[in-house]
Amino acid sequence: MAETSVAPTIRREIDNSICVLTFDRPDSGANIFDAATLSDLDQQLDFIEEKDSLEGAIILSGKKSIFVAGADLKTLLNQAQTGEMRAFIAGGQRIFNRLAALKIPTCAAIHGACAGGGYEITLACDWRVASNDPVTRIGLPETTLGLVPAWGGCTRLPRLIGAENAAEVILKGKLYSAAEAKQLGLVDEVVAPEKLLEAARRKLRDGKRPSLSPVPRGESDGGAAGEGKTSAALRASGNLAPARALEIIRKNLSLDQSLAAELDAIVELDETDATQNLIRNFFLAEKYKRGSSKQTPEKITHAAVIGAGIMGSGIAQWLSSRGVSVILRDVGTEELTRGLANIEKTYADAVKRGIMTEEKAKEGRARIVASSAPIEMRDVQVVIEAASEKLEIKEQIFRDLAQKAPHAAMLATNTSALPISDLAAETKTPERVIGLHFFNPVSRMKLVEVVVGTETSDDTIGRALGFVRQIAKLPVIVRDSPGFLVNRVLFPYLLEAAELFENGVSGQEIDNALLQWGMPMGPLRLIDEIGVDITVDIANTLEKAYGQRDRAPKILREMQSAKIFGRKSGGGFYKYEGKLQTPNAQIEKWRATQPVIPSENATPARSEGSRSGTLKATQRDPSTALSSAQDDVSFRLMFLMVNEATRCLEEKVVASPEDADYGMILGTGFPAWRGGPLRFAENFGMKKLVEEMEELAQTNEKYTPCELLKKHARDGTKFYGN
Q: Which residues are catalytic?
A: 416, 437, 449, 487
Contact (CB, 8 A) for 543 and 582: no
Q: What separation, in Å, do the N-terminal and C-terminal C-alpha atoms of the chain show? A: 53
DSSP letter at 71 equals B
Contact (CB, 8 A) for 698 and 635: no
**Strand segments (E) across 111-218:** 113-115, 127-131, 137-139, 175-177, 189-191
Distance CA 401, CA 387 (A): 13
Distance CA 168, CA 245 (A): 11
3-state secondary structure 251-297: CCCCHHHHHHHHHHHHHHHHCCHHHHHHHHHHHHHHHHHHCCCCCCC
- Number of helical H runs and strand E runs in the chain: 29, 21
Distance CA 660, CA 669 (A): 13
Parallel, antiparallel, or unpaired for β 382-385 and 302-306? Answer: parallel
Distance CA 195, CA 197 (A): 6
Say which residues have a Cβ less than 8 Å from residue 166's Cβ, sequence separation at least 6: 154, 157, 158, 160, 225, 249
Parallel, antiparallel, or unpaired for β 574-577 and 580-583? Answer: antiparallel
Distance CA 75, CA 82 (A): 10
Contact (CB, 8 A) for 78 and 43: no
> What are the CB-based long-range contacts (under 8 Å, 24+) for 543-549?
544/482, 545/481, 545/482, 545/483, 546/482, 546/483, 546/488, 548/701, 548/702, 549/492, 549/495, 549/640, 549/644, 549/702
- What are the Cα distances from residue 274, in Å, to 31, 241, 505, 671? 26, 10, 30, 10
What phi and psi values does residue 465 have, to the nearest 5 degrees? -65, -45
For residue 2, the SS3 value is: coil
Contact (CB, 8 A) for 7 and 40: yes
- What are the Cα distances from residue 282, in Å, to 239, 278, 662, 672? 14, 6, 10, 10
Say which residues have a Cβ less than 8 Å from residue 220's Cβ, sequence separation at least 6: 158, 163, 249, 250, 251, 252
Angle at alpha carbon of residue 323, lines to 320 and 324, rounded to 5°: 60
Question: How many other β-carbons are positioned within 10 Å of the β-carbon of residue 294?
Answer: 5
Say which residues have a Cβ less than 8 Å from residue 199's Cβ, sequence separation at least 6: 109, 129, 189, 191
Amino acid identity for residue 549 in this structure: R
Distance CA 18, CA 54 (A): 6
Contact (CB, 8 A) for 385 and 413: yes
- What are the Cα distances from residue 266, in Å, to 79, 240, 254, 263, 485? 12, 11, 18, 5, 35
DSSP letter at 566 equals B
- What are the Cα distances from residue 80, in Å, to 67, 75, 143, 271? 26, 9, 17, 5
Angle at alpha carbon of residue 630, lines to 625 and 632, rounded to 5°: 110
Contact (CB, 8 A) for 516 and 634: yes
Question: How many other β-carbons are positioned within 10 Å of the β-carbon of residue 633?
Answer: 30
